[in-house]
Amino acid sequence: MTHLMSDVSTMTVRGLRLVSRDVDAMITAVLLPVIILLMFVLVFGGAVDIGTEYINYVTPGVILLAAGFGAANTALAVEHDMSSGMVERLRSMPMNAWTVLSGHVAASLVKNLATTAIVFGVSILMGFRPEATALEWLAAVGMILLFVGWITWLAALVGVLVRSPDAAGGFSFFVMFLPYVSSAFVPVDTLPGWLRGFAEHQPVTPVIETVRELLAGDVSGVTDPAGVAMLAVSWCLGLGLVFAVAAGLAFRARR
Amino acid sequence: MAAIVTADGLRKSFGRRGSTSPPVLDGLDLELEEGAVLALLGPNGAGKTTTVRILSTLLQPDAGRATVAGFDVVRDARRVRETISLTGQQVAIDDKQSGAENLTMMGRLAHLPRRVVRDRVAELLDAFDLADAASRRVAAYSGGMRRRLDLAAGLLTRPRVMFLDEPTTGLDPRSRQAMWDVVRGVVADGTSVLLTTQYLEEADRLAQRVALVDGGRVVADGTPAQLKHEVGEAGVELTFASPSDAGRVAPALTAATVDGLRVRVPTDGSVAHVRSVLSAVEATGVAPEHWEVRAPSLDDVFLALTGHVGQERTAGATGVAA
Ligand SMILES: Nc1ncnc2c1ncn2[C@@H]1O[C@H](COP(=O)(O)OP(=O)(O)O)[C@@H](O)[C@H]1O
Ligand SMILES: [Mg+2]
C-alpha cells in the first residue's frame, strides 16, 4: 500500500504525544521500578547470597520488569483506540489503519528508553557499579529494547483481542509473572525443579543474563556468553515477529 | 439529480453460526441525491449505525449492494474511502492532543501536503468556532466543542459524501443548534450528507429527505413536510384534575381533542396562538393541573406512519434514551 512511511511516522508522533502526556502512567513507569529496586536491594539484598553486590545482580531484572509495566499501558492504549471509535475512523480513510499499532509500539520503545535511563541512574546512586565500555552499554540497551519490542507487540495483540479496559489491564499480571520466574532476582538454581525448567527456557532469563554479562561482568556464572546472547536475540526477534504479525492479523479480522 | 449513495436490499445479521438471531438489517434500501441531506430517523437498535458502517466500508453486508459515487462499497472499498468521511456515533478524537494537533494528524493521514494541511486546519478551526481553543488539549473541551472538532476531523479532504451518525445525541439545545449550523455549512460547501438521528426535529431542520428506519428496514420515507403533514402539528397539551374538567374546557377550544384527563389543541407554536389558547382556557374558569407545548415525538411519527410504536432494541447495549 502507498504512503506507508508517512502513516507510520504520523502514528508514531501521535503515540509519542499520548505517552508523554499521560503523566500518571509516566510517574508510575518511573516510580514503580525505583520502589522495586529499593525493596529488592534493602529488603531481600541481605538474604540473597550470590557472591557479589546484589544490586549488580538485580538491576537488569528490575529494568525488564519496568519494561513489562510499560507494555501493559500499550495494551490499554490499543484497547481504547479499538473501542473508542478511533480505529473505525481510521479504517474509513484511505490509509494503513494498522499503523495505529506500530505508533503505540514505537512510543513504548521511546518511553522505556527514558525509564531505563532513570532506573540505571537511581541504581548507580544506590551502588550499582557497572564495568562496561560504551559499546557494551550500547549492546545492553539494544538488548533491552529488543525485549521491550516483543513484549509491547504482545501487549498490542492483547489490546486488539480484549473487549474491555479491565481485560487489557490484566495483561500486567502476566508481565509481572515472567521476570519473577527467571534469573532476574534470584539465580535459577535456587528455584524448585519444575519452576527451574520453565525459568531456564523462557526468554527473560537469557535476556537478563546477557544484559548482566554486558554491564556487570560475570556475576551469574554464565559459561557461554555469546551463545546466551544469540539465544536472547533469537527469542526477542522471533517473538517480536510472531506477535507483530498476529497483532496485524487480529486487527484486520476484528470488526 | 443523480444519486451519490445508494443501498439496495442490504441484509446483515450478527448471529454466530448456528444461532438464530434476527437480522439487524432486513432488506434496507436508500438513496442520497448529490448535494442533499438524507436523514435516517429511527429509535435505538433500528439498524442506523449498521447501515452507516456498511456504507463507509467498515462492515460487509450479508446480501444486497451499496454504492458511493458509483463505487461498490465492498469491491471498490478504497475508492469509496477516498470519497467519504465518517463521523461515528462516538467522538473519535484524542483527549491528550490539542484541537489543532488532532486536525493536523487527520490531514497527514489523508496524505495532504503539509502546507495544505496547515491552511485547512486553520480554516476549519475558524469555521467551527474553535480557533480560540485550538492549542488547548481536547480533554478541556465541552461536549459541543468535541462534537464540532470530531466533525471537522472528517473534513480535511473536502469529502464528497459525509456520514454523520447521531451527531447531536447527548448535546444541550444550544450546542445542538451550533452543530446544525455547522452541518448546513458543510452542505453549502457542496458535500452530500447522510445523517442518522433519533430526533424528528433534527431531521426536519437539516434534511431534504427523511427515511424512517425500524427493524432494519425503511418503513416510510419522504420530505420532512410530507412526514409532518401525516403526523400533524405540535399541540398545546393541557392536563386536568378530572375527566369532567377536561370535558368542560374542550368545547371552548378550536379543534381540541380529549383523551381522559388530557386536552390537545393543534398549534403552530407561535406566541400569539398559544396565548389565545391559554386565554380561552382561562375564560372557562377551570384551571389545568399542567400544560405544555409538545412537538410530535418519534413515537408519534411511528404511530402515524406505521400504525405502531418504533421497536426499541437494546439487546446487551446501554442505549441512550431519545
Ligand atoms: N457488532 C455487533 N454484534 C452484534 N450485534 C450488533 C452489532 N452491532 C449492532 N448489533 C445489534 O444490531 C442492532 C442494531 O444496531 P445499530 O445498527 O447500532 O442500531 P442503531 O444505530 O439504529 O441504534 C442492535 O440490536 C444491536 O445490538
Ligand atoms: Mg447507532
Does residue B139 share a domain with residue B19?
yes
Contacts of A17 in chain B (CB under 8 A): 94, 96-97, 101
Does residue B193 share a domain with residue B169?
yes
Residue B305 lies in a domain: no
Residue B32 lies in a domain: yes
Nearest to A112 by CA among A147, A158, A155: A147
Q: Assess A86–B contact: CB distance below 8 Å, yes or no.
A: yes
Q: Is B50 in the pocket of ligand 1 (CB under 6 A)?
A: yes
B213 to A251, B45, B56, B180, B226: CA distances (angstroms): 31, 10, 18, 21, 16
CA distance A11 to chain B (A): 8
Q: Taking CB atoms and an 8 Å limit, are A95 and B110 in contact across chains?
A: yes
Amino acid at A41: V
Out of B86, B111, B137, closest to residue A92 by CB: B86
User: Which residue shows C-alpha cell 463505487?
Assistant: B71
Does residue B10 share a domain with residue B116?
yes
Does residue B95 share a domain with residue B243?
no
Contacts of A255 in chain B (CB under 8 A): 58-59
Residue B299 lies in a domain: no
Residue B316 lies in a domain: no
Which residue has the CA at smallest separation from atom 9 of ligand 1?
B50
Contacts of B88 in chain A (CB under 8 A): 85, 88-89
Distance A198 CA to ligand 2 centre (A): 49
pLDDT tens figures, B27-65: 999 999 999 999 999 989 999 999 999 999 999 999 999
CATH of the domain at B191: 3.40.50.300
From B199, B229, B259, the end of a domain falls on B229
pLDDT of residue B321: 38
DSSP B213-274: EETTEEEEEE-HHHHHHHH--EEEEEE-SSHHHHHHHGGGSTT-EEETTEEEEEE---HHHH
Residue B307 lies in a domain: no
Q: Assess B136–A contact: CB distance below 8 Å, yes or no.
A: no
Does residue B283 share a domain with residue B181?
no
Closest atom of ligand 1 to CA, residue B315? 27
CB contact at 8 A, A233 and A146: yes
Prediction ipTM score: 0.89
Residue B32 is placed in which grid cell?
A: 442520497
Out of B56, B89, B96, closest to residue A18 by CB: B96
Kindly state the average pLDDT of the residues B87-106. 96
With a CB cutoff of 8 Å and minimum separation 6, the contacts of B180 are B168, B202, B205, B206
Does residue B106 share a domain with residue B17?
yes
Distance B87 CA to ligand 2 centre (A): 12
Domain containing B139: what range? 3-229
Distance separating the N- and C-terminal Cα atoms of chain B: 33
CA distance A7 to chain B (A): 6
With a CB cutoff of 8 Å and minimum separation 6, the contacts of A68 are A151, A172, A175, A176, A178, A179
When pLDDT is cut at 50, 70 and 90, the band that residue B319 belongs to is very low
**Any bridge partners for residue B197, and if so which?**
B41
Contacts of B96 in chain A (CB under 8 A): 17-18, 21-22
In order along its 255 residues, chain A shows pLDDT tens digits of 579 999 999 999 999 999 999 988 888 888 888 898 888 888 777 666 666 678 888 888 888 888 877 788 899 999 999 999 999 999 999 999 999 999 999 999 999 998 889 889 998 998 888 888 999 999 999 999 999 999 999 999 999 999 888 888 888 777 777 777 777 777 777 777 777 777 777 888 899 889 988 987 765 566 788 888 999 999 999 999 999 999 999 999 987
CA distance B98 to B101: 5
Total tally of structural domains belonging to chain B: 2
Half-sphere exposure of A147 (CA within 13 A, CB side): 35
Longest dimension (CA), chain A: 60
Does residue B176 share a domain with residue B78?
yes
Does residue B209 share a domain with residue B81?
yes
Q: Report the residue count for chain A.
A: 255
With a CB cutoff of 8 Å and minimum separation 6, the contacts of A239 are A150, A153, A154, A203
* pLDDT above 60 (res B86): yes
Out of A14, A86, A92, closest to residue B81 by CB: A92
pLDDT of residue B202: 92
Kindly state the average pLDDT of the residues B299-304. 72
- Closest residue, chain A, to B108 (C-alpha): A10
Q: Assess B109–A contact: CB distance below 8 Å, yes or no.
A: yes
Q: Taking CB atoms and an 8 Å limit, are A89 and B153 in contact across chains?
A: yes
When pLDDT is cut at 50, 70 and 90, the band that residue B309 belongs to is low
Count contacts between A and B (CB, < 8 Å): 65
Does residue B215 share a domain with residue B261?
no
CATH of the domain at B261: 3.30.70
Distance A138 CA to ligand 2 centre (A): 52
Residue B303 lies in a domain: no
Q: Is B65 exposed, middle or buried (0-12, 13-18, 19+ CB in 10 A)?
A: middle
Q: Assess A18–B contact: CB distance below 8 Å, yes or no.
A: yes
pLDDT of residue A48: 67
**Rounded (10°) CA dihedral B96, B98, B102, B104:** -140
Q: Assess B105–A contact: CB distance below 8 Å, yes or no.
A: yes
Residue B180 is placed in which grid cell?
A: 446544525
Q: Is B86 in the pocket of ligand 1 (CB under 6 A)?
A: no
Distance separating the N- and C-terminal Cα atoms of chain A: 21
Give the number of other Cβ atoms within 10 Å of residue A192's Cβ: 8
pLDDT tens figures, B104-160: 999 999 999 999 999 999 999 999 999 999 999 999 999 999 999 999 999 999 999
Does residue B165 share a domain with residue B282?
no
Does residue B272 share a domain with residue B253?
yes
Residue B313 lies in a domain: no
Distance A26 CA to ligand 1 centre (A): 37
Helix, strand, coil distribution of chain A in percent, nearest 5: 80, 0, 20
Nearest to A108 by CA among A166, A140, A163, A147: A147
Q: Assess B322–A contact: CB distance below 8 Å, yes or no.
A: no
Kindly state the average pLDDT of the residues B215-241. 85
| pTM, 2 dp | 0.85
Q: Taking CB atoms and an 8 Å limit, are A7 and B154 in contact across chains?
A: no
Residue B157 lies in a domain: yes
Contacts of B107 in chain A (CB under 8 A): none
Nearest-ligand number for the alpha carbon of B89 = 2
Q: Assess B94–A contact: CB distance below 8 Å, yes or no.
A: yes
Distance B115 CA to ligand 2 centre (A): 36
Does residue B77 share a domain with residue B201?
yes
With a CB cutoff of 8 Å and minimum separation 6, the contacts of A53 are A127, A128, A129
